[in-house]
Amino acid sequence: MVFVACGLNHKTAPLDVREKIALPLAMQDTLLGELVDLPSVNEAVILSTCNRLEIYCDAAHPDGILPWLAKSRQLSPEFIKPFFYSHHGRQGLQHTFRVASGLDSMMLGEPQILGQMKQAYQQACRAGTVKHNLRQVFQYVFRASKRIRTRSGIGNNPVSVAFAAVQKIGQLFTELSSLKVLLIGSGETSSLVAKYLHNAGVTQFLVASRNPENAKQLADAFAGKSLTIGDIPHYLAQADVVVTATACPLPFITKSLVEHTMQQRNEAPMFFLDLAVPRDIEADVCEIAGVHLFNIDDLQKMTEKGMDERKSAAMQAEKLIDCELDNYIRWRRSLQAKKVICDYRKQMQELAQLELQRAMQKLDSGLSHPHVLTEFSERLLNKLIHSPTVGLRQAAMDNREDLLDLAHYLFTSPAD
């Protein structure tokens, strides 16, 4: 197998180029089929995200992939070539390990890429473009990336405002599954917060937005309830956590509103997270007993610290990748000996079975056990060493010291 990882990403290509080259999900089964129809491509997986398009394949001569990609996107190879990279063998494997572990991501250490890679692999499996070789690669990569993330701790520290927000909520509430969360705003930040909270166990969401359609879409994604902005005062007391991320020019959650809300809640604690600039929540809300208010600057400090810690963890992760890669290559090499070992064992078993049958016949004829067993052991020994003996003599006559050294290593190594 010649493993190849090729494509382009946020480091090599600007957004307008990535937009042109992104492969639509609905077309990927067809595109995967086209890939493995190329003369030198035996197996293939396509990973297409907003930050990268990568093709992982078993390909002896991958030169045809770039022209194929250009043709599929109705572009010229010359347009793509400056942004395109191709890593082969160990380098390709190392790149794949780094991608799966989040070390090659725009947001260092982010976990989403592993899920995206798993989805890409599963789609290729369904399309029939993953066989023995890539199956072994990706199954090992998935297991190894989990070990790398766990041992390095690269995903432990927040590096995005949304992730920092969820970590802050987790510090204040020990049981997230019982929380009710009100999201005000339905943009990307609110969506990310909802996703992270849902992954952490939150199941109750209210979503309010100036755009009712967007609010409903986000609420439906997490089996929540959509609201209008005008509904907020009526539902605020139901929320344990309030996350705001709108573009309103003035604060619309006032101190008096929160004071009234806390009375309705019998002073039960509330967590307010204001991710908006300008702010959505009046700053003096934090003076109310039982209210915890954090703004985007508070979380930015967490992300800066988190990024420093992730950079340190990334150094450890790189070392772990080297170890995992060495282990994988050794494991692959051991598989190459498997067929030889199996064939040799089968041959020896057949010899032993023939001699055993011969010995049993002699015992049935009345010959003494010691005589039969002695002859059996001598004949079996002679047959077992016949081929190696002939081969070693020939190696000596041909001055093949390498084979003689190998035989010495194999025949004199102590058995476990």
| pLDDT tens-digit series, residues 71-130 | 999 999 999 999 999 999 999 999 999 999 999 987 788 777 898 899 999 999 999 999
Q: Is 197 within 8 Å of 185 (Cβ atoms)? A: no
Where do the domains of the chain lie? 2-152, 161-297, 340-409
Query: Is 51 annotated to bind ligand?
Result: yes
Structure pTM? 0.61
Between 406 and 322, name the one with better pLDDT: 322
Q: How confident is the model at residue 132 (pLDDT cuts 50, 70, 90)?
A: very high
Average predicted confidence (pLDDT) for the chain: 90
Predicted local confidence at residue 328, as pLDDT: 93
Q: Residue 278: exposed, middle, or buried by beta-carbon count in 10 A (0-12, 13-18, 19+)?
A: exposed
CB atoms within 10 A of CB 219: 21
Nearest to 393 by CA among 385, 347, 413: 385
Predicted local confidence at residue 230, as pLDDT: 93
Query: Is 303 annotated to bind ligand?
Result: no
Please state, in angstroms and rounded to a whole number, the distance separating the CA atoms of residues 106 and 276.
23
Query: Is 394 annotated to bind ligand?
Result: no
Which class in CATH covers the domain with range 161-297?
alpha beta
Query: Is 111 annotated to bind ligand?
Result: yes
Q: Which of 11-20, 329-338, 371-380 has the lowest mean pLDDT?
A: 329-338
Helix (H) or strand (E) holding 42: strand 41-48
Query: Is 190 annotated to bind ligand?
Result: yes
Catalytic residues: 50
Q: How confident is the model at residue 415 (pLDDT cuts 50, 70, 90)?
A: low
| pLDDT tens-digit series, residues 140-186 | 999 999 999 999 988 776 566 677 778 888 888 878 899 999 999 99
* Domain 2-152 falls under CATH 3.30.460.30: yes
Q: Between β-strands 241-244 and 180-184, what pairing exists: parallel, antiparallel or unpaired? A: parallel
Please state, in angstroms and rounded to a whole number, the distance separating the CA atoms of residues 406 and 395.
11
Query: Is 185 annotated to bind ligand?
Result: yes
